[in-house]
Amino acid sequence: MPLPDRIYCAQQINIPPRLPDVLKNFTKAAIRTQPKDLLQWSAAYFDALSKGEPLPVKDRLEMNVATQKTDTGLTPGLLKILHTQLSLRETCSKEELQIKWQALSLPVDQLKNLLSLGSFSSDIHWMEFFALGCSALGGTLLSSLKFACEILTKDEEGGAARIPFDTFVKLYTYLAHLEGDVPQEHIDNFLQSLEPQVDNQAGMIQVSDFYTSEK
């Protein structure tokens, strides 16, 4: 209903019935996500909401990553947001990634470094970029994979953090090749050593499996 030309009292203002719930959900999302730039994040939130797209919202309030000596910007919660938004297709455009990245107020230089490290063109293979994001969080190959499992798993928080073994193989192989000093024989032997555990878990692998095998 259009507003009258002149408003003389509060009763003339028509408030949509869903507005209180929308604002309540927005407030809860902002508290969980703790965006550095609230206005920029809010614009991205309501834009995604209007389009029925995944919202730039963390599952929960997260503490700083203990392995990060300085604030690198990217966190497991923020990487999970990006994964939820951009993993619907095998690839995404660089422009699309930049928009989602900036909406979370993440450092532009960090994005440039990751894009350069992966030698990406205009089209970005999402799982490869995701793997690089995990490496930025983890520092080492195994800790990067641990973050990958914890972000990708459908298990409840604190559970086994299981993911499909074929996904693990792709992430491990990509990061190992990227390091450049991991022999192919070591990669093959390591993956083969995991197969007995995987067979018992219906094609899934969990964090404890590869940590034990590697050590």
For residue range 88-146, what is the model confidence (pLDDT) as tens digits?
A: 999 999 999 999 999 999 999 999 999 999 999 889 999 999 999 999 998 889 999 99
Binned at pLDDT 50, 70 and 90, residue 150 comes out as: very high
Please write down the long-range contacts of 153-161, taking CB distance under 8 Å and 24 or more positions apart. 157/60, 160/206, 160/207, 160/208, 161/206, 161/207
Domain boundaries, the chain: 59-214
Out of 1-10, 100-109, 196-205, pick the least confident. Answer: 1-10
Give 11-47 pLDDT, tens digit per residue. 666 767 788 899 999 999 999 999 999 999 999 999 9
* pTM reported for the whole predicted model: 0.85
- Please give the pLDDT value at position 212: 61
Phi-psi domain of 92 (left: phi exceeds 0; alpha: psi -120 through 50; beta: other):
beta
- Give me the helices (H) in the chain, please: 19-33, 38-51, 76-86, 94-103, 108-117, 126-138, 141-152, 165-179, 184-199, 207-214
- For residue 164, give the 3-state DSSP assignment: strand
The pLDDT assigned to 215 comes to 52
Please tell me the distance from the alpha carbon of residue 56 to that of residue 48, in angstroms, as a whole number: 8
Report the pLDDT averaged over residues 61-69.
59
Q: Of residues 181 and 101, which shows the higher confidence score?
A: 101
Residue pLDDT, tens place only, 66-102: 444 445 689 999 999 999 999 999 999 999 999 999 9
pLDDT of residue 165 exceeding 60, the answer is: yes
